[in-house]
Amino acid sequence: MEILMPEPQIYVERTLAIIKPDVINKEEEIEDLILQSGFHIIQKRKLQLSPEQCSNFYAEQFGKVFFPNLTAYMSSGPIVAMVLARNCAVSYWKELLGPSNSLRARITHPHSLRALYGTDELRNGLHGSLSISSAEKEIRFMFPEAILEPVPTGQRARDYLNLYVKPTLLAGLTALCKEKPADPMVCAA
């Protein structure tokens, strides 16, 4: 009888998630929902951004009517920044967040995080990266020490596993099998 083992998961995509100042008191609840949705929290930090840092983070929004209110809101208290990982992390996180306008989210996506925790379009509770490239940029902003190398996928991932991981595992398991335990009953437990 052959035992089938599931293929190991390689989390090929990361995204940035931010719990905004007005829902920081719901941090644990939100993290539980994130984990239940299949994400892994790779890095996490609580910080408070200055208005200048918020302006830099949201530089692409500069010139829009809501920009001053956005930077004031985001610098009004502590935030929690997290790097989330899973397959298709950016798109799954956007789906879990729902529409940016919390009022609209309550109608169209009532179980989304923004419907549950947001109050309006500005105070929507959470932030999510819009694309893989913006996720990389935002992760570097919030976690400057992070090393973001491209994670191999497909054949490159299989080649990496075959070249580096499998030989190490094989050598370790072979050495373990050659050891004769002093008390064989200890291994049976």
- Distance, in Å, from the CA atom of 47 to the CA atom of 28, rounded to the nearest integer, reads 16
Yes or no: say if 66 and 122 are a contact pair by the CB < 8 Å rule.
Answer: yes
Instruction: Name every residue whose Cβ is closer than 8 Å to that of residue 157 and which is 6 or more positions away in sequence.
Output: 10, 12, 151
CA-to-CA separations, 172 to 6, 51, 167, 169, in angstroms, rounded: 21, 53, 9, 5
- Distance, in Å, from the CA atom of 16 to the CA atom of 126, rounded to the nearest integer, reads 10
DSSP string, 78-92: -EEEEEEEETTHHHH
Q: Which residues are catalytic?
A: 127
